[in-house]
Structure formats: C-alpha cells, structure tokens
Chain A
Amino acid sequence: MTVKKKKRDLGKLSQKTSSLTNSSKFSRIKGFAIQFLPHSEIRDLGSSERIKKILGIILGNNILILQGRLLVDEETRLIEDTMAMIGHVKNFRGIELAVISGNGNEGFFSKMKKGFANVLSGGDLGAITIIGPATIVKEIKRNPKRIELLLNK
C-alpha cells in the first residue's frame, strides 16, 4: 500500500517536471553567467515557486548566488526535482549545491539573537547558497576555512 502511494507520488513529480521543461527557455546552452538573487526576490514565494525559479535560472546556464538559504525540506525538494529533470532536459546532468553559513559554534545568546533576526527577516540572511549546473560546475569544494568553485573545462 505504502509502495503504491510512493509510486503515485513519483508519477505526479514526473508530470510536473515535464510541464516545466517544455518551456523553450530551458533549452539554451551557451556559455554561462553568474546571477545574484536577493532574498527579497523569493521571500514571498511558496516552496514550489521558489524551486521553479531557482531551477529556471540554473537551466539557463547560470551559476546562482542566492542570498540566504532554502528551508531544509525545500533543499530536498530541489534535489528531487533536479533528479526528475535529468533525462528530460537535454544536456542537464544535475546541480552542484553548497550553503555557506555560520560555523555553528556561536554561544547561546548569539544563536538566540540570530534566530530572532531570522524570524523577523523571514530567512537566514547571513547565509549564502551557491547552485550551479553540473555541466558547468565540476565541484564545490568546502572545508571550514574556504570554499572553492571548480569549473569544467
């Protein structure tokens, strides 16, 4: 019963994705650009619209630098929708994704202050999310001290 339900969900996702990919703007493959997206551009959007907007930018061969970060369930939704698009969109092989945020070692009061600020602003504005198409971005190497964006030749 559970398996059947899951299969139905997958079917729905594929249908949704194919309607998204029919748009002609997703077939452009010419070089790449870096696009900055302020949080205000997605603040009032629902989760589906946010993901659609982000994937639209990525499929236009842009490396996206997003102010703030997505919610955790939006991040998994982004991975799901990305997977559903591979094979449906020509030359699309997925994405590279990294979120740069605080190191998590802040004290109790700093965390509380940050949490309060996040509630007021509607997101973790201190974070930055980098998303690029896998055909352009080979790897985003991270360690606690630096972040490296390695591009394909």
Chain B
Amino acid sequence: MVIKVFKNFFNRIFFNLFKNKRDIKLGFYGPPNAGKTSLANRICKDFTGEEIGSVSKVPHETRSVQFKEKVKIEYKGKVMTFKMIDTPGIATRIDYEDFLKYKVKKKEAKKRAKEATQGVIESIKWLDDMDIVVIVLDATENPYNQVNITIIGNLVARKIPVLIVANKIDLKKSDIKSIGAAFPEYDVIGISAKHGKNLEEFYESIFKLTKKV
C-alpha cells in the first residue's frame, strides 16, 4: 500500500515535469490562401529569424506539413516554447485548371493538383497531434464555408483549444464582423500577417489558450 502511494507520487511528479518541458504543438489550419504560412512565417521570423515556408498568390503553395521546432515566443516577460506546424489548406475541390489562371503550365498544374490533394489528406491526419490550433480565415471571404465548420467541429470533438484569426484586415473588403457572427462561440482576432498588424493581441490570445491545454 505504502509502496503504491510512493509510486503514484513519483509518477505524478515526473509526468508534470515532462509535461511542462514539452513544447506546445501549435497548428495553423484553414482554407487555401488564407495566410497560414504568412502568419507562421511572421512569428518564426520575429522569434527565430527564419521562415517556415514559401508564400504565393497561387493557391495550395503549401502542399505538405511544415514544422519549426523550439520557437520561443516572448510576450510581456513570459516565454513559452512552441512547435509550429503549418498545414496545407483544406478544400473539398481541387481542379488543376484553376492553376492555369495563374500562368502555371499544364503539366506543372496537374502535378500541383496531385500534391495538393495529398496535402489535404495529410492536414486532416495531423489534426490528432495538435495541442492548440489557430484557424486562419481570409477576412475578405465569406466565412460560411462548410470546410471551416467541419475543421472546427473536429477540433471541438477532440477537445483541442481553438483560436480563430481573421487575416488580411488591411484590405478594404475585409469584414471581421461577419467572421465573428459566423462563429459566435469563439474569440476572433483580426490581424494582417503581411504587415504584422495586431500581433500583440494575437500573442495574448495564444498565451491564454495554452492554459486550456
């Protein structure tokens, strides 16, 4: 009996020790071209001096999951270490002909489409591995998209804390209110990843979210 009590006590201490040392896995999810990589790049550049991936106007630029380990984010004197996970945009349709509009050659467009479909599957598979997730939405687009609802529904079912980010608020067409109205149960932070606008509020929300992990 006494041995069992001691065993539990030590197990608890070791578990908490490693739990606190473990990097928090921060995933960036959302539809294609919403600015997931731009936001991840902005954070990584600010705190490590390196970017996580390339960005482009052509949708599905990120076609495989990308990582950046040991990203120490500092906010108001507090420091937390994250593993940043940038995922390919999730879509229900991928048509190689859509890439031709961006002057991508047919052969390259077909290859891009094939890789993009695999990227979507990979993104979904990674949902289970996240500690917290930032859903990046394009504030100039209609938020009532089933893919957004499905991703958030899956995260809720897995009890993974979610923060919704309305990106591209520097653009005239942006409408952060419509995103707030579409997801009334969540905090929505308006940012511009491209111009680094309102990132302080974003970091504050991320630190708050880590308490739910």
Contacts and interface: CB of A to CB of B under 8 A. Distances in A.
A and B co-occur in one complex: yes
Interface of A: 2, 6, 9-10, 13, 72-73, 75-76, 79-80, 82-84, 86-87, 93-99, 104-105, 134, 140-144
B157 A83 contact: no
A104 B1 CA distance: 51
Contact of B144 (A10, A134, A142): A142
Nearest to A7: B122
B92 A97 contact: yes
B124 A79 contact: yes
18 contacts: A6-B122, A9-B125, A10-B118, A72-B154, A75-B153, A75-B154, A76-B124, A76-B150, A79-B147, A86-B113, A86-B117, A95-B93, A99-B146, A105-B184, A134-B95, A141-B142, A142-B144, A144-B144
B92 A79 contact: yes
Contacts of B144: 142-144
B125 A6 contact: yes
Contacts of B156: 72
- Among A2, A72, A141, residue most surrounded by chain B Cβ atoms (within 10 Å): A72
Contact of B184 (A2, A95, A104, A142): A104
B149 A79 contact: no
Contacts of B149: 99
- Among A13, A104, A142, residue most surrounded by chain B Cβ atoms (within 10 Å): A142
Contacts of A13: 121
B91 interface: yes
B80 interface: no
A94 B121 contact: no
Nearest to B183: A104
B117 A143 contact: no
B137 interface: no
A82 B122 contact: no
A52 to B, nearest CB: 17
Contacts of B90: 79
Interface SS of chain A: mixed
Nearest to B97: A93
Nearest to B144: A142
Contacts of B151: 76
B181 A144 contact: yes
A83 B94 contact: yes
Contacts of A142: 142, 144-146
A10 B121 contact: yes
A142 B147 CA distance: 12
Contact of A95 (B92, B113, B153): B92
B146 A82 contact: no
A93 B93 contact: yes
A2 B129 contact: yes
Interface string B65-98: 0000000000000000000000000111111000
B150 A94 contact: no
A48 to B, nearest CB: 16
A84 B146 contact: no
A50 to B, nearest CB: 15
B114 interface: yes
A87 B146 contact: no
A21 to B, nearest CB: 14
Contacts of B100: none
A96 B92 contact: yes
Nearest to A143: B144
B125 A93 contact: no
A72 B142 contact: no
